Structures are given as structure tokens and as C-alpha cells.
Structure 1
């Protein structure tokens, strides 16, 4: 059987194809990488107006029962118990050795927690969470829900007339509402560095919802290609590339995800390694890199000290359309992690000059 025959479809598959999307395999799904306008145009449109992304391949679930927040804290250094109703938080699932098992979003819906995890890890994540749950707390995966992301500086203006309750949210706020007659659960968040919403809806109503959003003034569809260049410009990690079970929250420059209370308790998986690295510094750090010239350096490119030995490796790299130049993220030995440090990237056997650059490459424009 061909690989394409084994791929799962999202509820918007028919719509993507009718819009002329180029479909590619991603995390076990057939996903739109781009539409006829192309990745560059989709990226720039998201930065200047508003774009709609299908992220229904992500894993959605609810954690229900007395003590659900405390139960989830057995697996993450995030402060879940301190999360107020109607608020969402980014967190990490950590391993016993201090690596990152996955990153996730958790929202407090008052009577339950709502989780969004990565498509490539959802089965492993759900199994890991279920195994840690005490009696009375249960995980309810939601495979019958779609997830759409409306992103861009014009998103608020076009969504407000349809869903004023969602437009009233601040960054990382969560609310239930209706859009075009479809009941949704939406958070003011995203993966582009822009203002916007991630909108969970019943799978059977996903196409109705997507068409209503695409009919709004200036909203255009965008695929995985633009999503990747947007998140890299925003300095956001991709699981499996920039973070994985070999990277710690400290190395990954994600120490802000560690709750203050959790840093006093040290009762999460991998706490020993995290504590040691916070005290003494990690051996390596995730940094931004700006190659000189126009040539991008891709993932797995070796990073060298000028004229010297290898000091690290690129994990994500490409061309930044809004940056109008190449950009990359990767890990370097700590002595080489300071901003503006000169380095060389070994591209096709030739050293390409680069410098360590502050992240994000393009400033975030969240609705604070």
C-alpha cells in the first residue's frame, strides 16, 4: 500500500483540495503545505492582514475530575494548579532524565482542563498522561474535533463582529462562543508571533466554520510552509527539531515555563537535571543565528567557531520573508551563546559566516 493511502485526513481535506492546496504527508496526515499563491505570499499576508491555518492534526483532550491539575503536575514543571479559569498556559512534559517529552497548551475551563499536544506525539502523550492519573481523574481525547488558527494583525477586527466574546479576550485567554452558528472553544494564541485565535470546533462543522472565516474581508488560507517560516521568525520551537527528549528546558531557553512554586517543590520529572543546570549553567544553549548574505542554512548544519572546531548544530533554518534574509536556530556550547558572537556554518562543505542573534527575529505582536 502506498504511503499516501495510509495518511489520515483532517475534516477540512475536501476544502483544501477545492482551494488548490498542495498536500503533503505530515505527522501521519495529508496536510496543505501551500495554496496557489505560494508560501512567501501566505507568510507576508499573515504578517500584514489575516490568514487561516488548519491545525486539526494536533491532539485535543480534556482532563476531568477532582485534582486534575495536581495530576498533570506529576508530568510537567508548569504551574497548572495556579492557572485561573478562562486562562491558558504553555508547558512542557518532561522525562525523568530532564528531557522534553513534548510541549503542550493547557487551559482551565473551570470544571475541566483542555489540552492541545503535538500531532506527532499525541498517542505517546495521552498514554503517558493516562498512566499518571489517580482514581477519579480521567483523560478524554477529542478526536472528533477540528482546530483552526486565525492569525494576523487584522484578525481581531474581522472576528469581532462575529464573536465579540472572543475579541474581548487578552493573550492566552480562553472562551466558548459561536461563530457562524458553530459552537467553538477558542484561545487568543497561536504559533506565528501575531495576534490571533486557535479555534476548536466539532469536526462535522469545521468546513462551515472555515468557509465563514475565509469569507471575512482579507482572510486567506495558509499552509504548513508559511506556518513554519512564521514560527521560526517568532523564535518558537518545533518539537522534534528544536526540542526533544535530549534537550532540557534550560538548554532550550524555556525556563520561563517553570512555575515559581514548582522551582521550590522540585517534584516534577527531571527536576534534578533542571535544578543543576539552573544553578551551574547548561553545557549548551538554544540561540538565534543570522547567516551573512542570502543563503539559508538548514537543520543539522554544523556550527563552528571561526576557523575552528564544531561548537553546535542548527535545528531549524530557512529564509525569513518578513526578515528579508536567512535565519536559523540551534544549540551552541555556552561560551559561544552571547549575542553577536561570530560563528561559521558549514554549508555544503564551505564555511558561511554568521552571528548569534537575539530571539525573536521579528517582534511578537500578541494582544497583551
Structure 2
């Protein structure tokens, strides 16, 4: 089945509830490559209502790596992640772009065709409901449309929010939810381009910059591919029609450069890259300027007199125009001694005044240092400021550090 046809199988939500809303208590969903995870003895856990692997344990398999080794492999080779649990949406209709600009901060109209951007979905108070990828697309079947990906753990509330806003917005807009009818895979690392190019000779990936999307054939199977990722490395996310998902997965796994990777490595990679995880580093009481994400507000979206302002624009634009309104900021920390500071740890001045909270932390596999990020009250958030973190009742010196902790390697033309 051609992908453009397969996309029509996505569930339209208007007038219906998300399929996940019908799951009984304790019922977990499986992605299309669930059996592939089991074949490699993946340790499966509940993640956003799906059974997803943390890492793989099959004895003698090259994919049975520790989380540390899997993280390092991604930065040196190519790692394949199943991210099919994430929710995809296609917006069509003559007012689709206007609607997406209403519910996100993206300058969708200003994007070149087949180009995407990170954005955020905000509530009316400017708090972050979710972070999201938004791409302006074109296909023979649907013409110009918008493709969006939201976090699995936020999908139900995001879809309910969109449904509510559609009722207020009116106009010609159709939302199609593309969830379990396709595979969504992330091939990440410096050798990802070699692996993908080998099976896609008709597409020159050197001409595809980070953030760009292409329709391309992978071993003859038409897929929608975006050069992006959540690791800080070069890489691709592949939207694969459901009846070909296993075949494409196996094709990519078979490459000598490829190792399977899972949730454990993904979290370490994104933290090394200084990237937020919703529900930890972002929430609905935090604004983009506070999160260090002012750049996701497109320049054309910063006009307070706009006829189509994004939700929450009043507070966010006020903070962008007057930085004194921002009282706390997301910042990186390194503590050279003791264990890494984890979520919830207090951040204090050296004389014991609490000035912030850690939201994520780990021992970074690639630099072998304790790293964390959190929200720190101004002016204590300045780089080089010496603070302390409280871990299990003990205090350890920590220094405010620039993020990312590991240099990013996004492919640019």
C-alpha cells in the first residue's frame, strides 16, 4: 500500500474519542514492531500507555548493549529507535495553517514546503501543554497540508484541546489522527545517513538538511522521512505504512552500522543534548521564555496586534518584550562529586537558600560527568555561578553550565 493511501486510514477525531480512551484499566498497547522487540529480549515497560523497550538483553546479540554503551554507539554509529507510540496528526483544509498557528507558536505559513520546526502548544495562560514538531507538507493526494507529531503521554489531552479549539475556530479544517496505522522509527547517529542512503538510491540525502522532509522510497517502499531527532545527532524519523513497518524495521536493523536502542539510551542522549522531556522539564505552568525556548515563537508570531494570535500570546509576548517578567529560567548544572542530582532535588546557594529545582539528571555516558537541568531563580541562573544540589540529604557543589552538554551535530547545507 502506498503511504499516501495508508495515511487515509488514520482515525479522524472530530466527533470521536481517541482510541486509547477506550482502553480498560491496565490495558497496554503494542506498536507494530512489538514482536521484534521481544525477539531481541527487550525489557518492556509501560510508557505512555504502550509496552516499550528500555533496553535489549538477548544473549550474544549485538543489540544487547548497556544503556551507557547504547548511548555511546548512537554518537559513533547508528541506532534505531521505535517511536511509533508518538501521535501523528495531519491537518487539511483551506484554513488548516491558520488553525495550527492558533494552537502553536510556529510560523507555519512562513515555512518552506517540506520544512518543519519544533514548536509548543500553549494554554491561554502561556503554559506549555506539550512540545511538538510541525511540518508544512505537500503530496499529490492532499496538496498543501500540515503534519504534526505530539508526545505519546500528552496525546489524549492534546487531541481534546485541539477538538475544543476546533469548535471555537470554525473554518475549513480537518484533523486526521495517524497513530496505530503506521510505524514511526528514528534512525540516529553519524552513520544513519549511510544506512538510509544505501536503501534509497533515488533520493540524494546530501540535499536534505536537518528539519527538512522528503517522500522517498526505502527498498521500494514509499515513506515520509524527516531529517530530525531527539538525540543531538544527525538522523532521520521515518513514517512507514503499517503493512511494511516490520519489513523496513528489519532492513534497517540488518545494516552492520545499526544497533537497536530504546528508552534508557534515548533519555541519556536527549539530556546530554540539553533537550526537554515533557512532564519533567516542561509543564503547563511553565512558559517558553522560562524554559529557554523563546526561539520557538516565530518572528512573525510576535506581533501583539496579530489577527490570529496564538493561545497564550499575551503573557508570552509580554515576557519576550520585558525580560524582568521572567523570574526563573531553565539552566544546566554539573556537580563533579557525589551522585547525579535527579528530578526534585533542591538547588541552593552556597549559604543554603533554595533557588531552584532539578527537573532531569543523570551521569552523562559520553562525557562521564554528572549533569542535570532545572529551573533556577534569577540571577542565580548565570553561567559559572556556583551553587549546590541536595541529593539524599547531602549537599554537593554544582556549577551552572551551558547546554548542550555534548555538542550537537545537526546536518546543515
Normalization by structure 1: what TM-score? 0.96
| Higher deviation after alignment, 159-168 or 22-31 | 159-168
| Counterpart in the other structure of 1:156 | 193
| Counterpart in the other structure of 2:21 | none
TM-superposed CA distance for 1:251, in Å, is 0.3
Matched, 1:138 2:180: no
| Counterpart in the other structure of 1:346 | 390
Matched, 1:119 2:152: yes
TM-superposed CA distance for 1:182, in Å, is 2.4
Q: 2:109 aligns with which of 75, 81, 95?
A: 81
| Counterpart in the other structure of 1:319 | 363
TM-superposed CA distance for 1:129, in Å, is 1.9
> Structure 2: where are the runs of 5+ without partners?
1-23, 58-64, 139-143
Residue 130 and residue 81 in structure 1: after superposition, are their counterparts in 2 closer, same or farther (change >3 A)? farther
Structure 2: how far apart are the matches of 1:166 and 1:71? 33
Matched, 1:275 2:317: yes
| Counterpart in the other structure of 2:134 | 106
Per-residue displacement from partner, 1:21-74 (whole Å, max 9, x unpaired)?
A: 111111111100011222111111000100000000000110011021111111
TM-superposed CA distance for 1:127, in Å, is 2.3
Q: 2:337 aligns with which of 279, 293, 306?
A: 293
| Counterpart in the other structure of 1:264 | 303
Structure 2: how far apart are the matches of 1:72 and 1:130? 12
When the two chains are superposed, the root-mean-square deviation of aligned CA atoms in Å is 1.4
Matched, 1:227 2:272: no
Q: Please give the secondary structure, in 1, of the residue aligned with 2:158.
A: helix
TM-superposed CA distance for 1:4, in Å, is 9.6
Q: 2:351 aligns with which of 307, 310, 315?
A: 307
| Counterpart in the other structure of 1:216 | 255
| Counterpart in the other structure of 2:245 | 206
| Higher deviation after alignment, 160-169 or 276-285 | 160-169
| Higher deviation after alignment, 78-87 or 352-361 | 78-87
Per-residue displacement from partner, 1:90-137 (whole Å, max 9, x unpaired)?
A: 100111111001110111112211110000111221222233232321
| Counterpart in the other structure of 1:335 | 379
| Counterpart in the other structure of 2:161 | 128
Answer yes or no: is the 8 Å Cα contact 1:186–1:198 preserved in 2: yes
Structure 1: how far apart are the matches of 2:67 and 2:172? 47
| Counterpart in the other structure of 2:93 | 65
Q: Alignment length, in residue pairs?
A: 366
| Counterpart in the other structure of 2:36 | 15
Q: Please give the secondary structure, in 1, of the residue aligned with 2:232.
A: coil
Q: Please give the secondary structure, in 1, of the residue aligned with 2:102.
A: coil
Structure 2: how far apart are the matches of 1:4 and 1:353? 44
Aligned runs of 1:242-257 on 2, under 5 Å? 242-257=281-296
Q: 2:219 aligns with which of 180, 197, 204?
A: 180
Structure 1: how far apart are the matches of 2:192 and 2:269? 16
> Structure 1: where are the runs of 5+ without partners?
none
Structure 2: how far apart are the matches of 1:60 and 1:74? 18
TM-superposed CA distance for 1:166, in Å, is 6.2
Residue 223 and residue 211 in structure 1: after superposition, are their counterparts in 2 closer, same or farther (change >3 A)? same
Structure 2: how far apart are the matches of 1:5 and 1:197? 33
Per-residue displacement from partner, 1:133-173 (whole Å, max 9, x unpaired)?
A: 32321100012111100000111122112124262311101
Moved over 4 A (4+): none
Structure 2: how far apart are the matches of 1:107 and 1:261? 17
Structure 2: how far apart are the matches of 1:166 and 1:324? 37
Answer yes or no: is the 8 Å Cα contact 1:147–1:201 preserved in 2: yes
Structure 2: how far apart are the matches of 1:127 and 1:366? 33
